[in-house]
Amino acid sequence: MFDTMSHRKYYHRYLLWLLHKHQHCRRAIQQIHSQFMVLNSEYIGILALWNSILKHYSLSAYPQEALFLFKYLKNQSKFMSFDSFTYSYLIKACANMNQVHVGNQFHCLSTKAGFDYHVHVQTALVNMYIDCGGLVEAKNVFDEMPEKNLVTWNVFITGFMKWGEVEFARAVFDAMPEKNVISWTGLIDGYTRINRFREALLLFQKMVVHEGIKPTEVTLLAIFPAIWNIGCLEFCQMVHAYGEKSGFNTLDIRVMNCLVDAYAKSGSIESAWRVFEDINDVRRNLVSWTSIISAFAMHGMATKASDCYRRMENEGVMPNWITFLSVLNACSHGGLLDEGLEYYRKMVDDWGITPNIKHYGTLIDMLGRAGRLEEAERIALGIPSEIGNVVIWRTLLGACSFHGNVEMGERVTIKIMEMEREYGGDYVLLSNIFSAAGRFLDSERVRSVMDEQNAPKVPGITLV
């Protein structure tokens, strides 16, 4: 008998080990699940095994399977009791399904089972209600919790930040009895996502300098958009130095790629290039190459951008639509028309990438700058209607104005008016085209139509 019990315990431990080993493999979990179903009577009461399967299903792309399994277990054994892990996983499944009404049912079941004051179950409920948009319910659960841990506070704050309740989330953050790097990172990321970049930078500075909390690589990734949107070179250098000292630059390629972007957008293409060159050849990925190509394009260094693309291709890295958009932008602003057209051909014919509206816009801009307006118009007319927009035609109208093509300018304006009549800049541009050609009566007529349509003209500003 003891041998049989010992064998069963060993086999149970082995099954648990298998579940943990293959927790991210759906097919393996399903096979183990099927094995349990075959040996139903022997395994129905071993909750740890079923909880492992529930956990996998709740975090997978098919969270509804966790609910099906729970229903099966309830039907198989009326006397089977479930623990805090069971309810936490099931509530997480409801969050991932965005099914607040099902989550409500598990809220009631967990309360009935005696977990109404259990910190892990209640934290799962707070997370579920926030993910499903039930902010009032989330606040009620949070307020009624007699005990809260750091995870509870962080889930609550980051959730409210996600829904744009910034001032409330900040007030809760300030009231926290204890904060860790996750608390700070959640708030910084929230401010960055709503474009309050200076506040994000001030929070980061306060966290590091005044509170002495060391940022993680996730914190750095959260603060980078604030750095490059403000263009703060000094802050970029500080984060770069910290990344070097802490080892994040070596360990996380995402930090290095963001540094390339941040330096370029803060005005230092030399630093961006140095960071790119510091990345080991083996670690460089498509994002690394696209970032440096985009950096050169941004700084008007079209030849450098083109050279980087060729070097990337020679190293066997496969470009995507963003890579081609970056190199096309570089060619457009650098006057490399023939190279730009070749890159466009290569994108479509060699790599099979379908152009999107941004590619078309860049191509039309490139042809327009070179004065090849007829080609640009043909491409604009050939854009699929489901992705076409007025910006394409405004780009072409700008080229008509620059090159003084009155006839095409009229045709393009008609196209624009079919899509949108309320933007005064379109009327002004056509009026200026007529004036430059000496057709002053037509120019006045366009201005009169603009007044009749009550189309506002964006006022100019001066810093003097």
361 in Cβ contact with 392 (< 8 Å): yes
71 to 54, 63, 77, 107: CA distances (angstroms): 12, 13, 10, 16
Give the model confidence (pLDDT) of 155-191 as tens digits: 999 999 999 899 999 999 999 999 999 999 999 999 9
Give the model confidence (pLDDT) of 237-278 as tens digits: 999 999 888 888 778 899 999 999 999 999 999 999 999 999
Torsion sign across C-alpha atoms 437, 438, 442, 445: positive
- Assigned token pair, 298: 């941004």
Residue 337: pLDDT above 70? yes
Share of the chain above pLDDT 90, in %: 62
* Long-range contacts of 444-451, Cβ-Cβ distance < 8 Å, separation of 24 or more: 450/424
274 to 68, 73, 160, 238, 301: CA distances (angstroms): 54, 59, 39, 16, 16
Category of 265 on φ-ψ map: left (φ > 0), alpha (ψ -120 to 50) or beta: alpha
Residue 322: pLDDT above 80? yes
Per-residue pLDDT at 438 = 82
312 in Cβ contact with 289 (< 8 Å): yes
State pTM to two decimals: 0.79
Q: What is the mean pLDDT of residues 89-97?
A: 94
Contacts of 34 (CB under 8 A, 6+ apart): none
Residue 22: pLDDT above 70? no
Give the model confidence (pLDDT) of 353-373 as tens digits: 999 999 999 999 999 999 999
- Assigned token pair, 343: 């890159």
Give the model confidence (pLDDT) of 54-74 as tens digits: 888 888 888 888 898 888 888
Per-residue pLDDT at 454 = 62
Give the pLDDT band (50/70/90) at residue 79.
low
Q: What is the mean pLDDT of residues 314-335?
A: 95
The C-alpha atoms of residue 331 and residue 326 are separated, in whole angstroms, by: 9
Q: What is the mean pLDDT of residues 89-115?
A: 94
Residue 6: pLDDT above 80? no
The C-alpha atoms of residue 285 and residue 253 are separated, in whole angstroms, by: 8
Residue 228: pLDDT above 70? yes
Per-residue pLDDT at 461 = 45
For helices 357-369 and 390-403, give the axis angle rounded to 10 degrees. 0
Per-residue pLDDT at 59 = 83
Per-residue pLDDT at 238 = 92
Residue 382: pLDDT above 70? yes
The C-alpha atoms of residue 70 and residue 50 are separated, in whole angstroms, by: 9
Per-residue pLDDT at 38 = 52
Per-residue pLDDT at 149 = 94
Torsion sign across C-alpha atoms 276, 277, 279, 280: positive
The C-alpha atoms of residue 456 and residue 438 are separated, in whole angstroms, by: 25
Give the model confidence (pLDDT) of 121-147 as tens digits: 999 999 999 999 999 999 999 999 999
Q: What is the mean pLDDT of residues 416-423?
A: 79
104 to 121, 130, 374, 445: CA distances (angstroms): 13, 13, 62, 64
Amino acid identity of residue 93, one-letter, is A
The C-alpha atoms of residue 35 and residue 40 are separated, in whole angstroms, by: 8
Per-residue pLDDT at 10 = 56
Measured in degrees and rounded to the nearest 5, phi and psi for residue 355 equal -65, 140
Per-residue pLDDT at 426 = 76
The owner of tokens 């602003």 is 333
Amino acid identity of residue 369, one-letter, is R
Amino acid identity of residue 284, one-letter, is R
Per-residue pLDDT at 2 = 39
Give the pLDDT band (50/70/90) at residue 213.
very high
- Assigned token pair, 338: 């023939």
Share of the chain above pLDDT 70, in %: 87
- H or E stretch covering 218: helix 217-230
CB atoms within 10 A of CB 81: 10
Residue ranges and CATH numbers for the domains of the chain are 148-278 (1.25.40)
